[in-house]
Amino acid sequence: MKKTVRVVVVDDSAYSRRAITRMLEAIPEVQVVGYATNGEEGIRRVIDLAPDLVTLDLEMPRMDGFTMLRILMASSPVPVIVISSTRGDEKVFKALELGAVDFITKPTGVASEDLLNIQEDLHEKVQAVFKLNIAQVLHKRLEPPRVEEVPVSQPAPRPASTTIDVVAIGSSTGGPPALQDIFASFKQVPPFAMVISQHMPGGFTRTFADRLNRSSGFEVWEARDGDAVVPGRALIAPGGKNLTFVEADGKVVAQVVDPTDKERYVPSVDVMFASAARIWKNRLLAVVLTGMGNDGAEGVVQAKRAGAQVLAESEESCVVFGMPREAILTGMVDKVVTLDQMPREIVLRCGLAPRFG
């Protein structure tokens, strides 16, 4: 029998509290055990009730969600899903850095039945709580990761005869902080390109790309039709869209396409891996990071059959070991690596000599 997930709802809107409570209690094994109207009250509820999960609005009177997150993660860490009307700005990613495991955007900032449109997304993200690596979530929040710079020199001898031109990364729950760690490790401009599909709704990936760009030697931006895939550049699939690639005028460029009805997760890692494999074949390195579900598994199979190399994040460092586990079960993963070792492994697989210390 599954353990009941006990939830505290924190939101200053009475309508939102009632609507979120109804949606949560429609999920088997979920029980709303309390609510709060601001961060100050929310901290008291968490301490008194010791819930398994908190849903949190960011903009509230007296004490906002950011302050509550800081205090919670320092004193009584617990998984938090942000449910806020904040759209496409830095606030959501600030919340993820402070400790939230995921976020959902309210359709509107005012009380409206439109809020019920988030029900499917809410159910899916709460289900991920059943599979969270709680120890890893809390460890990451209590002890911020130590980002080690990975300078590279080239050319460098390597056993394989083929150089990797493109690193394709897929991720979901826990992905934004993981990607931040990886990109922050590359302070110099690397001689290979990156393409990324992170499950995220529309309106957020441009801000996310800007954040990665500020901390990395890569030139990072949200992909647009016709963007060239070139060394030192990283393209992020736009939220709610799929990223594919075509050859045009002697170069490879991005294509941003709408998902099909059969693609449950978008941007689709499977679609990106498959398209990248057709173009780069054995010059591709596919990487599967933390996330719920099986997106990326079929893409890994196609990538490996085309001659690509494949890495997966280990259970030890994953927030949710869903996507990497499914990739590993295909038998097509070359190596399983913890997140802190992933930048080194990428550099080595790309045929470069890392310079450490």
Domain ranges of the chain: 5-142, 152-354
CATH of domain 5-142: 3.40.50.2300
Is 165 one of the annotated active-site residues of the chain?
Answer: no
Q: How far is CA 33 from CA 9, 25, 41, in A?
A: 8, 10, 14
Is 172 one of the annotated active-site residues of the chain?
Answer: yes
Q: For residue range 123-174, what is the model confidence (pLDDT) as tens digits?
A: 999 988 878 877 666 665 555 545 566 766 544 444 444 689 999 999 999 9
Catalytic residue chosen out of the listed positions 171, 295, 314, 317:
295
Q: For residue range 265-311, what is the model confidence (pLDDT) as tens digits?
A: 999 999 999 999 999 999 999 999 999 999 999 999 999 999 999 99
Q: Are 182 and 219 in contact (CB under 8 A)?
A: no
Query: Which has the higher per-residue pLDDT, 307 or 249?
Result: 307
Position 128 scores a pLDDT of: 83
Section 4-21 average pLDDT:
95
Instruction: Tell me if residue 176 falls in helix, strand or coil.
Output: helix
Q: Dihedrals φ, ψ of 312, to 5°?
A: -135, 145
pTM exceeds cut of 0.85 = yes
Distance CA 76, CA 243 (A): 39
Residue 208 host element (H or E): helix 205-214
Instruction: Tell me if residue 157 falls in helix, strand or coil.
Output: coil
Residue 211: closest CA among 176, 172, 174, 171:
176
CATH topology of domain 152-354: Rossmann fold (3.40.50)
- For residue 7, give both structure tokens: 């939830």
Quick one: CA torsion of 84, 90, 91, 93, rounded to 10 degrees?
90
Is 123 one of the annotated active-site residues of the chain?
Answer: no
Percentage with pLDDT > 90 across the chain: 73
Catalytic residue chosen out of the listed positions 199, 216, 268, 270:
199
Query: Which has the higher per-residue pLDDT, 342 or 352?
Result: 342
Q: Is there a shared CATH topology between the 5-142 domain and the 152-354 domain?
A: yes
- For residue 190, give both structure tokens: 């690397």
Distance CA 297, CA 330 (A): 7
Position 133 scores a pLDDT of: 78
Q: Are 234 and 219 in contact (CB under 8 A)?
A: yes
**Per-residue pLDDT for 236 more than 60?**
yes
Average pLDDT, the chain: 89
What value, to the nearest 5°, has the Cα angle with vertex 46 and ends 43 and 49?
Answer: 145
Q: How far apart are the first and last CA of the chain?
A: 50
Which residues of the chain form beta strands (DSSP E)?
5-10, 30-36, 53-56, 80-84, 102-105, 152-153, 166-171, 193-198, 219-222, 233-236, 242-248, 251-257, 284-288, 309-313, 335-337, 353-354
Distance CA 131, CA 222 (A): 30
Query: Which has the higher per-residue pLDDT, 130 or 6?
Result: 6
Catalytic residue chosen out of the listed positions 13, 16, 84, 172:
172
Q: Dihedrals φ, ψ of 195, to 5°?
A: -130, 140
